[in-house]
Amino acid sequence: MPWKDLRKGRFSNSGSIYFITFVVHERIKIFDDFCLASLFCRNISINELSNNSTWLSWILMPDHFHGLLQLGDEEKLSHVIRQLKSKTAVEINRTLNRRGQVWQHAYYDHCIRKEEDLLGICRYIVANPLRAQLVDEIGKYSFWDSKYL
């Protein structure tokens, strides 16, 4: 789908929850690198604090990201996503000692309606590594488990 089509009808509604997906440029699997994946994960917390928003559920895959974002009272959806993608791109390029595009320009968003199954969407996000056959069970590995840090 062309980038301009993804932007049609996009709006930000304070307090709303959005299902977000964005993809690494050319689908390069840069997050197979633990250091780069850790860098991205640290930036999720920074993004929440600086935007008064909450990532309710999220998963970082080798070449893309899925998340469930609840907007705070003041920030626009586009600002929150742009800030996360921009900050992580700068840090990734610095770490790799290179310049260039890290993320594809566009991102997918879907505002969750009240009647939609929020738990089902969270399960979809969390089960992404299982569907991609990166793990054989969900919950076996945790980023915050000290043996992986």
Q: What is the pLDDT of residues 23-48, one digit of tens each?
A: 999 999 999 999 999 999 999 999 99
Number of domains in the chain: 1
Q: Which CATH number does the domain housing residue 76 bear?
A: 3.30.70.1290
Q: Which residue has the higher pLDDT, 10 or 146?
A: 10
pLDDT at 101: 97
Whole-model pTM: value is 0.83
Q: What share of the chain is helix, strand, coil (3-state, %, to 5)?
A: 45, 20, 40
Determine how many CB atoms are found less than 10 A away from the CB of residue 109.
20
Q: What is the pLDDT of residues 67-120, one digit of tens each?
A: 999 999 888 999 999 999 999 999 999 999 999 999 999 999 999 988 888 888
- One-letter amino acid at 106 equals A
> What domain range is 43 assigned to?
3-148
Helices 77-96 and 34-51, axial angle in degrees (round to 10): 150
